[in-house]
């Protein structure tokens, strides 16, 4: 009798194990692997120059607006100083024109000529230096960053010369009757250029475009960077997606903006479908489960809620 009871106990245990295996594989058949990814935000320079300070390291967390690097602004500040001096001269001439003191036409031409002569000398010297560095660069004696810095200086000086030339031509064409109007126009032009120059100086301070984690740092202190070049990438903490591949024949079950549940470390979270690819592909190997293996699948992206601590590259399970 005891033998029979013992045998029945074994049979019951075996049935429990079989049921557990069937339950596990039946649920595994319906599950899909999702892998988290973050939106990558570029942080590009808007002006050329040498980086004098860098405040970031790989893996560092930053907030939007944090300063991540500073570009050398000395040449731009020098050009701004020259523009502000020119504005002071123009304002004096404007005052003289209003009060009728002195020879307005003569003083205007003389001041404009002096400004032009100084700008021409500076531009000529900067261009000679650039040509010298260009020859040295072709000979392998200096780096590309040194050459780029010399070109920036020459371009800045050429811009100042063009402005001085325009001001000189304006002064020569002035008559006594139009002195006040011409002086006022010159003041407005200089004020506009000063505002533009100040804006360029502000762009020397590069700030983070998003809150998140620094995942790449492409330039550091001493490097020369050009406009449009990416100084660092940030993995945004506010825009993360769970990427998964869903069988093509079941696509009708998924809708754009639908709320879907996924599991990360035994906790459930609700995400929103924000992308459904229209072109089916065979499921990539690292996304394969029994539910989508060797099947044509479509790529789906689910927006991860901010309360989910999943990190880029980590997996989660999706149960339809």
Mean pLDDT of the chain: 82
Query: Angle at Cα 200 formed by Cα 196 and Cα 220, nearest 5°?
Result: 175
Mean pLDDT to the nearest integer, 298-315: 91
Q: What are phi and psi for residue 297, nearest 5 degrees? A: -130, 165
Identify the pLDDT of residue 313: 87
Q: pTM for the complete prediction?
A: 0.58
Give the model's confidence band at 180: pLDDT under 50 very low, under 70 low, under 90 confident, else very high: low
pLDDT at 73: 93
DSSP 8-state assignment for residue 143: -
Q: How many CB atoms lie within 10 A of CB 210?
A: 20
DSSP 312: T
Q: What is the mean pLDDT of residues 84-100?
A: 78
Please give the residue that has the higher pLDDT: either 24 or 308: 308
Q: How far apart, in whole angstroms, are the C-alpha atoms of residue 149 and residue 147?
A: 5
Angstrom distance (rounded) from CA 235 to CA 3: 65
**Residue 20 banded pLDDT, cuts 50, 70, 90:** very low
Tell me the pLDDT tens digit for each residue of 197-213: 999 999 999 999 999 99
Question: Looking at residues 147-166, what average pLDDT do you find?
Answer: 86
- Between these two residues, 103 and 132, which has the higher pLDDT value? 132
Q: What is the per-residue pLDDT for 217?
A: 95
Least-confidence region, from 56-60, 224-228, 282-286:
282-286
Secondary structure letter of residue 255 according to DSSP: -
């Amino acid at each position: 009798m005891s033998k029979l009871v013992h045998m029945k106990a074994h049979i019951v245990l075996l049935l429990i194990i079989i049921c557990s295996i069937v339950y596990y594989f039946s649920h595994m058949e319906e599950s899909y692997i999702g892998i988290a990814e973050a939106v990558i935000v570029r942080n590009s320079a808007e002006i050329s120059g040498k980086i004098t300070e860098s405040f970031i390291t790989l893996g560092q967390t930053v907030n939007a607006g944090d300063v991540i690097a500073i570009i050398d602004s000395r040449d731009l500040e020098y050009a701004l100083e020259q523009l502000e001096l020119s504005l002071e001269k123009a304002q004096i001439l404007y005052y003289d024109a209003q009060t009728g003191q002195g020879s307005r036409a003569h003083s205007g031409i003389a001041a404009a000529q002096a400004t032009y002569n100084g700008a021409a000398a500076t531009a000529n010297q900067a261009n000679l230096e650039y040509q010298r560095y260009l020859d040295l660069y072709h000979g392998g004696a200096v780096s590309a960053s040194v050459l780029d810095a010399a070109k920036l200086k020459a371009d800045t000086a050429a811009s100042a010369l063009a402005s001085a030339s325009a001001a000189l031509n304006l002064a020569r064409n002035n008559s006594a009757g139009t002195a006040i109007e011409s002086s006022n126009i010159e003041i407005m032009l200089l004020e506009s250029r000063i505002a533009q120059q100040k804006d360029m100086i502000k762009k020397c301070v590069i700030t983070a475009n998003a809150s998140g984690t620094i995942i790449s740092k492409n330039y550091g202190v001493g490097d020369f960077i050009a406009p449009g070049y990416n100084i660092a990438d940030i993995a945004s903490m506010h825009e993360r997606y769970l990427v998964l591949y869903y069988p093509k024949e079941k696509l009708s079950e998924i809708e754009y903006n639908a709320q879907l549940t996924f599991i990360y470390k035994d906790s459930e979270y609700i995400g929103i479908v924000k992308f459904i690819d229209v072109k089916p592909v065979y499921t990539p190997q690292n996304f394969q489960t029994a539910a989508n293996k060797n099947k044509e699948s479509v790529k789906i992206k689910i927006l991860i809620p901010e309360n989910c601590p999943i990190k880029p590259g980590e997996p989660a399970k999706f149960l339809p």
